[in-house]
Each structure stands twice: as C-alpha cells, then as structure tokens.
Amino acid sequence: MITAGIDIGSSALKMVIWESTGKILARYVGRAGYGSEARAREFCHSIGVHIDATVATGYGRGLIDWADRSVTELTCQVRWARQEVPAARTIIDIGGQDCKVIRISESGTLADFLLNDKCAAGTGRFLEVMAAALDVPVEELSGVPDGPSVSISSTCTVFAESEVMSAVAGGRNKQEVIRGINNAVASRVAALALRLGCVPDLVITGGVAQNARIVDAIASILSTRPVVPKEPQLTAAWGAALLAHDKFLSKREGSY
C-alpha cells in the first residue's frame, strides 16, 4: 500500500510518499505559497505509482481538497512519533512562523500542547530576518563553533534586528553575533517548553531543528538530550502519510 502525506506549512511545502513496508519512496521540500496545490498534485503524479490514500496537514491543508482527509499538524506529529520514536513524551516543533510544544501520553496519544504563533521570536522567521541582516544564508547560522556570544535581549524581532545591527556596527565579530541569534531562538523555545513541562524523551522537529547549535542550546537549558530525526522538517508530512495508511486500512476493513 502506498500513501501520501502533504504538509502545507506557513513557509514550506513538505510531502512524503510512504510505502507500508516502512520505506519512504519519495520526499519533497519547497517553499509554500501560491502554486502549492498544483505542485502537490504534480509531485504525486510524478511518482508514477498509484497512491491509495492521501492526508493533508499544515496551515494550508484546506487547499488540498482532493485529499482523503485533512488533519492538524499536532495529530500528525504524534502519529509520526508513535511509530518512529515511541519513547517520545514531548515534541518541540520549530517551524517557519510558529513553535509548538506537544506532550504525548504514555499510550502515545496527544495529551497537551502549547503554541506560540503570535510572535516571530523562537521561530524560523526570526532566524530568516537575522540571517538577512547579516547577509548569510539561514543554513550557515549553525556552522559556528562554541565561543562567546552577544546578548540579544529583545523579544520583538524588529528590536532584536536593531540589536544585531548595533552589534555589527559596533565591530562585534560575526560569529559572536550568530551565536547570540541562535541563543535567542533557543531561549524563547525552551521557555515555551518549560511552561508546558518538558518530559523526556524529547524530540525536536521542524525546519529549525536543522540548526544543531540551536538544538544544543535548547538541550543545555532543558538539561535533556533531545532526539533530532534525520529529516526533522518532514515529520508532519510523514505522520500524515501514516494516518493515510491507517485510514485506508480501516476503510478496507469497513470500520472507518
């Protein structure tokens, strides 16, 4: 059986084509925005195999009106974790415009969650603004070794950007500024996790989890060693493909 998970997030479109033998047949990561639905349709056709069921998730999930089901990202993340990291009790998902902390029950269901979607601090958007201010690609922000950092105290992204520009103008070394940016994101994210309570095992997902310095800083604040999946940006799409598999099975068995 082959299923598709389509995650139209606030900044990125992610897709996973999953085979029930446990293999990802194809994956896609690209920018979200106009044309996401057409790109999703083209990608699914381009695989050249029959897709038995499709589940859509993310902010833009309503665009995929041909999906068999539309599900929240929270449900998808929990479904993914139940399969790939069964010991996970907390997920921190750091996306383009929000950050979610998700608590998973002992039985592997959604127990509780906290969402920061009101402010760019502690999200990929913050990183993007700061990377643009420094004229470096966002991917490069993780490439700094340990060392001293500037302190960025403003929560507001606009004021934080001014702090970064002042540090640059004041002659602070670029690596110190980058460490300050990474630490600022980590401290906002960790504060959200502490509000909900961070029960191990902890998993960190989302595009920003690709920044190992931010992950290390979160780990240090929370005093726990998190699991970071190999493809952290794909977990919700992968969970959606797993839910599509569940739905197809239950439909076939007449229990859906």
For residue 162, give both structure tokens: 């001014």
Q: Which of residues 47-66 bind ligand ADP (CB under 6 A)?
A: 58
Range 129-141 burial, b when 16+ CB lie within 10 A, else e? bbbebbeeebeeb
**128 interacts with ligand ADP by CB under 6 A:** yes
Q: How many DSSP H helices and E strands does the chain contain?
A: 7, 9
- In the complex, least distance from residue 186 CB atom to ligand ADP, rounded to whole angstroms: 12
**239 interacts with ligand ADP by CB under 6 A:** no
End-to-end, the C-alpha distance of the chain in Å comes to 17
In the DSSP assignment, the letter for residue 199 is P
**198 interacts with ligand ADP by CB under 6 A:** no
Return the ∠ at Cα 202 (arms to 150 and 74), rounded to 5°.
Answer: 100
For residue 184, give both structure tokens: 């600022």
- CA distances to 58, 89, 227, 249 from 191, rounded to whole Å, are 24, 17, 19, 40
Strand order in the sheet with 99-104: 110-116, 99-104, 90-94, 202-205
The stretch near ligand ADP (CB under 6 A) out of 6-14, 20-28, 148-156, 248-256 is: 6-14
Interacting residue with ligand ADP among 72, 97, 154, 155 (CB under 6 A): 97
Q: Which is nearer to ligand ADP, 44 or 141 (CB)?
A: 141
Q: Which of residues 9-28 bind ligand ADP (CB under 6 A)?
A: 9-12, 14
Interacting residue with ligand ADP among 96, 122, 180, 239 (CB under 6 A): 96
Q: Which of residues 216-235 bind ligand ADP (CB under 6 A)?
A: 233
- In the complex, least distance from residue 128 CB atom to ligand ADP, rounded to whole angstroms: 5
**204 interacts with ligand ADP by CB under 6 A:** no
Q: Which is nearer to ligand ADP, 2 or 16 (CB)?
A: 16
In the complex, which residues of this chain contact ligand ADP (CB under 6 A)?
A: 9-12, 14, 32, 58, 95-97, 124-125, 127-128, 138-139, 142, 206-208, 210-211, 233
